[in-house]
């Protein structure tokens, strides 16, 4: 069983920054993939960024150049640094994990992840 606990959400103005954290118990595995997803009201959950046990990253086009995913294995923590935030980034952000590496074209698909956190709200006002 993998436990995921997100934190760091909040309210910011457009152009501001936030850093999300996710403490994940998956980091004891030799191979894994972890990711951030988000879901806005009335919309489907979408992949934002992922990173795997080799440090390979993937980003949604909508966040490239603004968001950075990283991990600190020693702290069992996944991060999402979000800069230049826009009102359309408003959503509940979820941390997800899978206990195996994933081909890059699957890494932002919600259907391949077995473990999910409870979510943290991010609100960006204009």
Is 90 exceeded by the pLDDT of residue 120? yes
For 64-95, the pLDDT digits (tens) are 999 999 999 999 999 999 999 999 999 999 99
What mean pLDDT is predicted for residues 103-121?
95
β pairing state of 57-59 and 120-125: unpaired
Q: How much of the chain exceeds pLDDT 90, in percent?
A: 90
Spatial CA neighbour of 38 closest among 77, 67, 14, 15: 67
Is 90 exceeded by the pLDDT of residue 11? yes
Average pLDDT, the chain: 96
Residue 30 is predicted with a pLDDT of 83
């Amino acid at each position: 069983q993998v436990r995921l606990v997100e934190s760091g959400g909040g309210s910011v103005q457009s152009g501001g920054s936030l850093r999300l954290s996710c403490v994940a118990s998956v980091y004891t595995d030799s191979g894994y993939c972890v990711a951030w997803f988000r879901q806005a009201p009335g919309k489907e959950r979408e992949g934002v960024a992922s990173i795997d046990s080799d440090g390979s990253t993937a980003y949604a086009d909508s966040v490239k150049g603004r968001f950075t995913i990283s991990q600190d294995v020693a702290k069992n923590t996944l991060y999402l640094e979000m800069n230049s935030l826009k009102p359309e980034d408003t959503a509940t952000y979820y941390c997800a994990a899978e206990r195996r590496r994933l081909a890059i074209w699957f890494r932002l698909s919600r259907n391949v992840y077995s473990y999910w956190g409870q979510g943290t709200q991010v609100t960006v006002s204009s």
